[in-house]
């Protein structure tokens, strides 16, 4: 066994429903290539503290691999750790590379979002400079879907499935009484509206995105017009919606056209939906409600998209193949070749072009009044949310992989 090649894999950043599917793909890919997968506990930070796990032992068979695929959050543990610049702190990288080489691995795969791709870009740059043979490959994930150089990120489709499903169900719940009401459903995504926009599949009345500042008077007028036609108004609201002066509504900013005194107490409230619900109640006097979908958006594996998990798995598997074939400083990526029937092509991109970039929802996909998304957005997101992943149950509840000790 001492001759068997080894690869190192880690998970980083916020957890998703699909990040373990990519890990399962890495483990499966390693098995196919007869290399031994070693996991970083708690990302690069845990690895630098000497914490690893032998994944061939910890995930010994197909059943375990399947359970891992369908288990939410980062099974290996995660970290939020921004590496210094190799040029500014070469000693850090010398130690890191020494650790990697001491672990006897020929490749490092890192599953994560923006910061994780930055980690891979820096390690690859330093490794190349030092003439190291170790390959560095990024495997993308983020529910925010804000990475560039990829059609969409693993984790997004499952989160979008939960969001669209929940919005459609909350809309039914909101509509049972014979009275006027406005319900704000708050959706994750502080800087980009991809996840809030996915609510379009449930056809809410309005969709508010971080990309377009909210003008309170215009919003109130629009809601008032809707209430003239129907009882129940549902607004899908990004947690990152902003006022025209650029501040987060969630910070309790007093909306233009309302008195600071009158709404001074709103500054105490957290959350965009709570703020907007209080604002509409004060201005229009109707019943309002704020529903935060909260953490379940990123960990609701019971509602996962099979397309999402399949792609996440394949990107992990591909990462092993690419690394063993000698690629480094790359991210495994997806290019959509057609919408209907949906098809993607797997390809690699330069990870340094991904790191530290953010992809907002394009203006052309946002409704002219800034309070909705277009049919193009719907066409984009629809194939990503389905079909449902057939989750194995135990006593009626989803089975999950046993946590690592």
Q: Which residues bind its own copies (CB under 8 A)?
A: 11, 15, 41-42, 45-46, 71-74, 77-80, 161, 164-166, 168-170, 172-178, 201-202, 265, 268-269, 289, 291-296, 298-303, 305, 382, 385-388, 393, 395-398, 400, 403
CB 317, min distance to its own copies, A: 23
Residue 160 CA to residue 172 CA, distance in Å, equals: 18
Residue among 167 and 249 whose Cβ is closer to its own copies: 167
CB 288 within 8 A of CB 183: yes
Closest CA to 121 of 149, 91, 86: 86
* CB contact set of 294 (below 8 Å; sequence gap of 6+): none
CA distance 173 to 371: 22
Provide the minimum distance between the beta carbon of 119 and its own copies in the complex, in angstroms, as a whole number.
16
Which of 280, 293 has the CB closer to its own copies?
293
Q: Which is nearer to its own copies, 91 or 178 (CB)?
A: 178
Q: Least distance (Å) from its own copies to the CB of residue 296?
A: 6
Q: Which residue has the tokens 């946002």?
A: 366
Report how far residue 70's alpha carbon sits from residue 139's, in angstroms, rounded to the nearest whole number.
18
* Known catalytic residue at 144: yes
Please identify, using beta-carbon distances, which residue of 2 and 268 lies nearer to its own copies: 268
List the one residue out of 143, 119, 106, 61 whose CA is nearest residue 312. Answer: 143
Q: Which of 70, 118, 144, 205 is catalytic?
A: 144
Minimum CB separation from its own copies for residue 377, in Å? 14
Pairing of strands 232-238, 206-208: parallel
Residue count (the chain): 405
Nearer to its own copies, 292 or 314 (CB): 292
Sheet with 6-11, side-by-side order of all strands? 52-54, 36-40, 6-11, 105-112, 135-140, 330-339, 342-350
Q: How far is the CB of 106 from its own copies (least distance, A)?
A: 27
Element (H, E) at 238: strand 232-238
Which residues are catalytic, by number? 144
């Amino acid at each position: 066994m001492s001759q068997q090649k080894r690869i190192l894999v880690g998970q980083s950043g916020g957890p998703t429903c699909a990040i373990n599917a990519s890990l399962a793909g890495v483990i499966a890919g390693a098995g196919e290539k007869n290399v031994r997968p070693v996991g970083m506990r708690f990302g690069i930070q845990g690895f630098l503290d000497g914490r690893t796990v032998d994944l061939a032992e910890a995930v010994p068979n197909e059943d375990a691999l399947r359970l891992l695929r369908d288990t939410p959050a980062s099974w290996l543990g995660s970290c939020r750790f921004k590496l210094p610049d190799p040029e500014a702190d070469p000693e850090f990288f010398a130690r890191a590379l020494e650790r990697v080489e001491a672990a006897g691995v020929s490749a490092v795969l890192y599953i994560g979002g923006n910061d994780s791709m930055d980690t891979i870009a820096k390690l690859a740059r330093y490794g190349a400079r030092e003439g190291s043979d170790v390959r560095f490959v990024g495997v993308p994930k983020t529910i925010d879907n804000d990475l560039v150089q990829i059609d969409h990120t693993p984790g997004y489709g499952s989160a979008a499935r939960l969001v669209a499903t929940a919005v459609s169900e909350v809309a039914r719940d909101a509509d049972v009484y014979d009275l006027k009401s406005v319900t704000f459903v708050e959706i994750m995504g502080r800087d980009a509206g991809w996840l809030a926009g996915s609510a379009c599949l449930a056809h809410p009345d309005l969709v508010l995105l971080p990309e377009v500042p909210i003008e309170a008077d215009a919003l109130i007028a629009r809601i008032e017009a809707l209430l003239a036609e129907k009882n129940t108004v549902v607004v899908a609201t990004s947690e990152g919606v902003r006022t025209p002066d650029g501040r987060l509504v969630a910070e309790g900013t007093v909306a233009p056209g309302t008195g600071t005194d009158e709404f001074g107490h709103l500054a105490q409230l957290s959350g965009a939906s709570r703020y907007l619900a209080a604002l509409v109640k004060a201005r229009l006097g109707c019943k309002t409600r704020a529903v935060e979908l909260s953490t379940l958006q990123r960990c609701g594996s019971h509602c996962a998209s099979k397309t999402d998990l399949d792609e996440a798995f394949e990107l992990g598997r591909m990462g092993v193949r690419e690394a063993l074939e000698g690629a480094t400083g790359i991210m495994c990526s997806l290019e959509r070749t057609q919408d209907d029937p949906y098809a993607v092509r797997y390809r690699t991109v330069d990870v340094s072009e991904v790191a530290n970039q953010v992809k907002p929802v394009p203006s052309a996909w946002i409704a002219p009044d800034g309070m909705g998304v277009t049919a193009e957005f719907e066409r984009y997101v629809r194939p990503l949310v389905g079909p449902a992943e057939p989750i194995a149950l135990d006593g009626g509840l989803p089975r999950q992989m046993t946590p690592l000790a």
